[in-house]
Amino acid sequence: MTTTDTVVDRLRARIGVDGSAVTAPIEAGHVRRFVEAIGDPNPRWQKETPPTFLVALAPASSHLAEAEEYGKGWLNGGNRFEYLAPVLIGDVITATGHVADVYEKEGSSGNLLFIIFETEYTNQRGDLVARLRGTLIRR
């Protein structure tokens, strides 16, 4: 078995297994720094969070250390957000994520490894507020 097969098999074994949950408060200063970095001055973000803010809540969990044996770099393939309830400053959000799929594809300059990651976000009342599906690529 080659190293590549081993990495893919190990990652595939994690499909559907939830990682440890991360709980964090939505802080006004954090949201402000986030929208300043984007350059989005909408006063709405003094009370609620902009569409992509939840990615800043948990560390880049998605950069799975063990996948780094494959290829030499990461690329973000895409992100899909689903919003079920507003996320407001002052909320306390818990993020729980898992690997949803892992597969290899032949690229123009070598093989690529795709890791699909899904995260669910709930608030302090236990309401599901958002879902995020991300595609990460090792190349």
Partner 1 sequence: MSARGSVEVGQELPELVKHPTPRQLVQYAGAQGDFYEIHYDQEYARSVGLPGVILHGLLKAGFLGQLVTDWLGDRGKLITFEVTYRGVDEPGHPYRCRGRVTNVDGDDVELEVWGEDEAGKRTTVGSANVQLDR
Beta bridge partners of 97: 119
25 binds partner 1 (CB under 8 A): no
* Element holding 34 (H helix, E strand): helix 28-38
**Selected binder of partner 1 within 76, 88, 90, 107 (CB under 8 A):** 76
Q: Taking contact as CB under 8 A, which single stretch among the options 9-17, 48-56, 97-105, 116-124 is the one that binds partner 1? A: 48-56
19 binds partner 1 (CB under 8 A): no
Q: Which burial class, exposed, middle or buried, applies to 126 when counting CB atoms under 10 A from its CB (0-12, 13-18, 19+)?
A: exposed
Beta bridge partners of 87: none
Half-sphere exposure of 98 (CA within 13 A, CB side): 10
Q: Which is nearer to partner 1, 12 or 63 (CB)?
A: 63
52 binds partner 1 (CB under 8 A): yes
Reported in sequence order, the residue ranges of the chain that DSSP labels E, i.e. its strands, are 22-25, 74-83, 92-107, 110-122, 128-138
Q: Taking contact as CB under 8 A, which single stretch among the options 2-10, 76-84, 100-108, 119-127 is the one that binds partner 1? A: 76-84
**Selected binder of partner 1 within 22, 56, 89, 100 (CB under 8 A):** 56
**Selected binder of partner 1 within 44, 88, 107, 124 (CB under 8 A):** 44
Can you read off the two tokens belonging to residue 54?
């939840």
Looking at residue 13, its amino acid is A
* Binding positions for partner 1, rule: CB under 8 A: 30, 33-34, 36-40, 42, 44, 50-52, 55-56, 59-60, 63, 72-83, 86
